[in-house]
Amino acid sequence: MCSNWTNSSCITADLEPSNRYLASAVVYGLVLAVGLPLNTLSLWILLRSHGFRSPCAVLMVNLAVSDMLLALSLPLRVYFYATLKWPFGAATCTAALMLFRVNIRTSSIFITLISVDRMIALVFPLRSRSLRTPGCALKCCAVVWILLTTLCIPEIRRLYDALKGCPKIPCFEIQVHSKSSHVVSISQAIFLLILLLVNIVSTVVVVIVLRKRPSAGAAKVNNKMNVIMIFIVNMLVFVIFFMPFTLHLLTYTEDDCGESLLALVCLASVNCCLDPLIYYFSLDSFWQDKGKRQTEAGTHSLSRSMERS
């Protein structure tokens, strides 16, 4: 595979069918089949039943949007690896490549913000009310999208220029070796490691706080388990899907054929199928209709009033 690459990062010979290409097409196809409907359903439930009434819901809507953008680019990956051809031009390929990179960055940020939000809500439930508002969450999400989009502009131009110069566009097999691209890879890896550290600290703090608080009935135990599951799912996403990709970025060199990196990219794309579990454990009665929750809340309040009387 290495012999097919030139200094311009283009493949000079036709790609020949191999088990790796077939496996990539199958994995991306499965992720598309599971991730797109699952995230579409999750986004619909979030907007219909929860809206933007809590900071946690705001963060999860943005996480679902990020995952849906990745899922929408997967048909192009499936087509490329199934046919080993790219007739859609350099601009479309650049957009598809950047959707994956943006998903990795935004997903890791939103997952970390969800962990921090849940930790603050547990440790400082009263003092954090003025900070933990839907308005603040919306502003944070807007800053994330604007900042990342701005930072991606040089990367987009570099990718587009490399692809535009290819006689046959290799698209998802392209490797752009330059000093600036290496700096971007190292910076992304360090950034993801910092976010992982934040998630680890948040998890440890939450476990310590929950252990110090005595259990008071079955409801309390169930709630604690849901809180712990939020952080477990967040850590699984980072450790299984983001960390292998991140560690490889730290050791990636120009002499690398890129096959192991492309396999880890394939693995990282699976994260959009696991993220809906975060919504389930983070929001009470996630699958319930808003009206039903309000009815149950009213019934619970009435029962409590009758017990007091």
- Pair 67, 275: CB distance under 8 Å: yes
296 assigned to some structural domain: no
125 assigned to some structural domain: yes
Higher per-residue pLDDT: 11 or 6 = 11
291 assigned to some structural domain: no
Q: Kindly state the average pLDDT of the residues 209-225.
A: 59
Q: What is the mean pLDDT of the chain?
A: 78
Convert 49-118 into a string of H (helix), E (strand) and C (coil): HHCCCCHHHHHHHHHHHHHHHHHHHHHHHHHHHHHCCCCCHHHHHHHHHHHHHHHHHHHHHHHHHHHHHH
Count: domains in the chain: 1
26 assigned to some structural domain: yes
Q: For the domain that residue 254 is a member of, what is the CATH number?
A: 1.20.1070.10
Higher per-residue pLDDT: 9 or 298 = 9
Q: Is the pLDDT of residue 137 over 60?
A: yes
State the pLDDT at residue 301: 38
- Pair 266, 24: CB distance under 8 Å: yes
Place of tokens 């959707």: 99
Which residue, 7, 20, 73, is CA-closest to 254?
7
**How crowded is residue 23: how many other Cβ atoms within 10 Å of its Cβ?**
13
Band of the pLDDT at 141, cuts 50, 70, 90? Answer: very high
Provide φ and ψ at 270, rounded to 5°: -70, -15
6 assigned to some structural domain: no
Instruction: Enter the tokens of residue 108.
Output: 């890791």
State the pLDDT at residue 293: 43
- pLDDT digits over 177-193, tens only? 555 667 777 888 888 89
- pLDDT digits over 23-77, tens only? 999 999 999 999 899 889 888 888 888 788 888 889 989 999 999 988 989 999 9
What's the half-sphere exposure (Cβ side, CA atoms, 13 Å) at 253? 3
* Helix orientation angle between 89-123 and 179-212, rounded to the nearest 10 degrees: 20
Band of the pLDDT at 11, cuts 50, 70, 90? Answer: low
CA distance 284 to 234: 17
What sign results for the dihedral spanned by CA atoms 38, 42, 45, 47? Answer: negative
Give strand pairing partners of 11: 5
- Pair 58, 52: CB distance under 8 Å: yes
Count Cβ neighbours within 10 Å for each residue of 145-173 and write b for 16 or more, e otherwise: beeeeeebeebbebbbebbeebeebbbbb
Name, in order, each residue with C-beta under 8 angstroms of 158's C-beta and a sequence gap of 6 or more.
176, 178, 180, 181
State the pLDDT at residue 82: 92
Range of the domain at 253: 15-286
Band of the pLDDT at 271, cuts 50, 70, 90? Answer: confident
5 assigned to some structural domain: no
Band of the pLDDT at 239, cuts 50, 70, 90? Answer: confident
**How crowded is residue 68: how many other Cβ atoms within 10 Å of its Cβ?**
19
Q: Is the pLDDT of residue 3 over 90?
A: no
305 assigned to some structural domain: no
